[in-house]
Amino acid sequence: MGRLTSLLLGLAFVFPAAAETPPLDAEVAYEYSQAAIGGATEDHVLTDHRGQPLRLAELRGRPLVVSLVFTSCATVCPITTDHLRYQILAARRAVGDDGFSVLTFGFDASGDTPAQLTGFAGTHRLLRLDDWHVASADATTTEAFLRELGFSFKTSARGFDHVTQTTILDADGRVYRQIYGEAFPLPVLVQPLKELVLGTRTRSVDPGALWDRINFLCTVYNPLTGAYRFDYGIFFGIFFGGVSLVLTGLVIFRLWLERHRAQRAAGPAQRNRRTS
């Protein structure tokens, strides 16, 4: 219900009051979006903001956060992008700078040219962020990619009426999670990323991978500050739990040792009584 509410709010914000086409049905759009989870995305060839080809295959191997916008949007898309930038920076502090990459995809195949993408990315300070790609594609590729992501939109007099959706792909390019709304809470983004990174980066016994796992498990969200922090209390809990186990073991060992000594001392006395 919470996700559907976010979707409804997003749709209500995007739609103009007097649209020429009927608005998207929020429930249908939500079900369509959720049905895409688990599905794979193909190795599409996009065009980045410099006019260079960008293959989705180049972004495999790590989770990918896909933000869907059109650059001529004057309402929701700028708000969503600015909020996502802030949340991505916070997520990287929690998950690691190299834990995932980001793709802002312009779904207006005719309007989201490299020049438009460059202007949009510059306005929203995306160009200097590592592993943040800005791209679009031709109409056929765009249609196929959006279908794989479960993204709903319609053309309107003011551009597009669309779901406010951010999609998280896993390292193999499969849809893992859908996020709705232009101002979602940080844990909604970080939690699935932590799940994916834990499953792909920390299976090794390498000390660096082990530290990654400890860091992820001990990073908790503080709602008062709106950020993640390292919870040292977990280490204190482990330490005192270990001390308690050691002390319990020592008590048990001491009781066993005293009983053993008592049995050894009682042995000669019992033999003397039998011989007398």
Which tens digit of pLDDT belongs to each residue from 120-165? Answer: 999 999 999 999 999 999 999 999 999 999 999 988 777 788 999 9
Q: What's the sign of the alpha-carbon dihedral 197, 42, 102, 184?
A: negative
Q: Are residues 219 and 247 in the same domain?
A: no
Q: Are residues 135 and 70 in the same domain?
A: yes
Q: Are residues 237 and 210 in the same domain?
A: no
Q: Is 73 annotated as a binding residue?
A: yes
The secondary structure of residue 174, as a DSSP letter, is B
pTM of the predicted structure, to 2 decimals: 0.70
Amino acid (1-letter code) at residue 29: A
Question: Total domain count for the chain?
Answer: 2
Angle separating helix axes 76-95 and 2-14, nearest 10 degrees: 140
Q: Are residues 225 and 236 in the same domain?
A: no
Q: Are 45 and 137 in contact (CB under 8 A)?
A: yes
| DSSP three-state, residue 191 | helix
Q: How many residues does the chain have?
A: 276
Q: Are residues 151 and 219 in the same domain?
A: yes
Taking the C-alpha atoms of residue 276 and residue 268, their distance in angstroms, rounded to an integer, is: 12
Q: Are residues 97 and 182 in the same domain?
A: yes
Taking only the tens place, the pLDDT of each residue in 211-262 is 444 454 455 544 544 544 545 455 556 666 777 788 888 888 888 887 877 7
Q: Are 239 and 224 in contact (CB under 8 A)?
A: no
- Which pairing describes strands 165-169 and 159-162: parallel, antiparallel, or unpaired? unpaired
Q: Are residues 178 and 255 in the same domain?
A: no
Closest CA relative to residue 101, chosen from 42, 149, 59 = 59
Taking the C-alpha atoms of residue 8 and residue 252, their distance in angstroms, rounded to an integer, is: 61
Number of H helices and E strands in the chain, helices first, is 8, 11
Q: Are residues 80 and 185 in the same domain?
A: yes
Q: Are residues 83 and 7 in the same domain?
A: yes
Q: Are residues 169 and 154 in the same domain?
A: yes
The secondary structure of residue 81, as a DSSP letter, is H
Taking only the tens place, the pLDDT of each residue in 42-61 is 999 999 999 999 999 999 99
Tell me the CATH number at 116.
Answer: 3.40.30.10
What pLDDT, on the 0 to 100 scale, is given for residue 106? 97
Query: Which residues touch 219 (CB under 8 Å, ≥6 apart)?
Result: 94, 194, 228, 229, 230, 231
Q: Are residues 179 and 262 in the same domain?
A: no
Angle separating helix axes 26-35 and 2-14, nearest 10 degrees: 120
Q: Are 47 and 136 in contact (CB under 8 A)?
A: yes
Q: Is 218 annotated as a binding residue?
A: no
Of 21-30, 86-95, 130-139, least confident by mean pLDDT is: 21-30
Q: Are residues 65 and 133 in the same domain?
A: yes
Taking the C-alpha atoms of residue 184 and residue 165, their distance in angstroms, rounded to an integer, is: 10
As a whole number, the mean pLDDT across the chain is: 81
Q: Are 70 and 165 in contact (CB under 8 A)?
A: no
Supply the range of the domain harboring residue 207.
Answer: 2-230
